[in-house]
Amino acid sequence: MTAPPPFLRRSTTKNSVKNSVISLVQNTLGAMGSPILVRVEAVHGEGVSLTGKVDVVPLVEIQDATGRPRQRELIYGVPYLRIQGGTSAVIVDPKPGDIGFVVIAGRDQTNVVTTRQPSPPASTRHYSLNDCVYVGGFLNEAPNQYVQFTDEGVRIVTPGKVEIDAASIAANCDITTTGDITAGGVSLKNHTHGGVQPGSGNSGKPT
């Protein structure tokens, strides 16, 4: 194990000024919030609405003076990241159990989070874990629905259905399906035409 540089080595003299300064610096740094891995415990404000908030618990525990670990307290009402520009967004809300990262603000951001406007700091605190934002997507389980971009193209996988709500769809490509297509309640595979005379000929191309 590499020894600390001389200026960080504690003095062997009891109650020395050097030891006091080192302890003061360590206590000050220990009190400052720093980016840290967290787990989501609750989600508030999901879906098509203002970007919501999460309650998270830091996963890296703190230690007391004897080195014994102690779990940190919950951090409530942390704004989370959404990919959005103007009124266009990709909505993938966090879920309880997700692991992510919090980034600590330098000042008290309570007023800005509340009003979403330029505001003075709500207190004199600095680098507090209470002033953070959540960025998700670390160390999580394998997904069962996803959009995957590869060198071959784009793959969309879901155990449910894909729903598109738009004025119209323009597809400049061939479309292949192993299932049926229903348009206006009529099945492409199973619909019938009336007034057709039986015979051995083939129909013409669509007109």
Q: What's the pLDDT score for residue 24?
A: 74
b/e string for 69-97 if b means 16 or more Cβ within 10 A?
eeeeeebeebbbbeeeeeeeeeeebbeee
Task: For residue 41, count other CB atoms closer than 10 A to its CB.
Answer: 15
Does the residue 122 lie in any domain?
A: yes
For residue 204, being part of any structural domain is answered with no
Which pLDDT tens digit goes with each residue over 60-100? 988 777 888 888 899 999 999 999 999 999 999 999 999 99
Residue keyed to tokens 């193209």:
153
Instruction: Output the pLDDT for position 32.
Output: 65
> Quick one: pLDDT at residue 49?
87
> Does residue 166 lie in a domain region?
no
Contact 140, 98 (CB under 8 A): yes
Per this entry, what is the length of the chain? 207
Q: Is residue 201 part of a domain?
A: no
From 43-47, 86-90, 117-121, 149-153, the region with the lowest mean pLDDT? 43-47
SS3 assignment, position 20: helix
**pLDDT value at residue 21:** 78
Tell the residue number behind the tokens 């209470």, with chain if given.
Answer: 130
Q: Residue 154 has what pLDDT?
A: 95
Model confidence, pTM: 0.75
Domain assignment of residue 127, given as a range: 33-141
The whole-number average pLDDT for the span 196-201 is: 74
Judge contact between 11 and 18, C-beta under 8 A: yes
- CATH value at residue 53: 2.40.50.230
Residue 10 lies in a domain: no
Q: Is the pLDDT higher at 100 or at 186?
A: 100
pLDDT on residue 34? 81
CB atoms within 10 A of CB 199: 6
- CA angle in degrees (0–180, nearest 5) for 60-65-71: 30
58 domain residue, yes or no: yes
pLDDT at position 183 over 90: no
Residue position matching structure tokens 């259905």: 161
* Domain assignment of residue 5, yes or no: no
pLDDT in tens, 7-43: 555 555 666 777 777 777 766 666 666 889 999 999 9
Q: Tell me the C-alpha distance between 163 and 61, whole Å.
A: 43
Domains identified in the chain, total number: 1
Please give the share of the chain, as a percent, with pLDDT higher than 70. 86
- Neighbour count for residue 58 (Cβ, 10 Å): 19
| pLDDT tier, 108 (very low <50, low <70, confident <90, very high otherwise) | very high
Q: Is 49 among the domain residues? A: yes
* Residue closest to 51 by CA, chosen among 74, 75, 82: 82
Residue where the block lists tokens 């618990």? 57
Decide: helix, strand or coil at residue 183.
Answer: strand
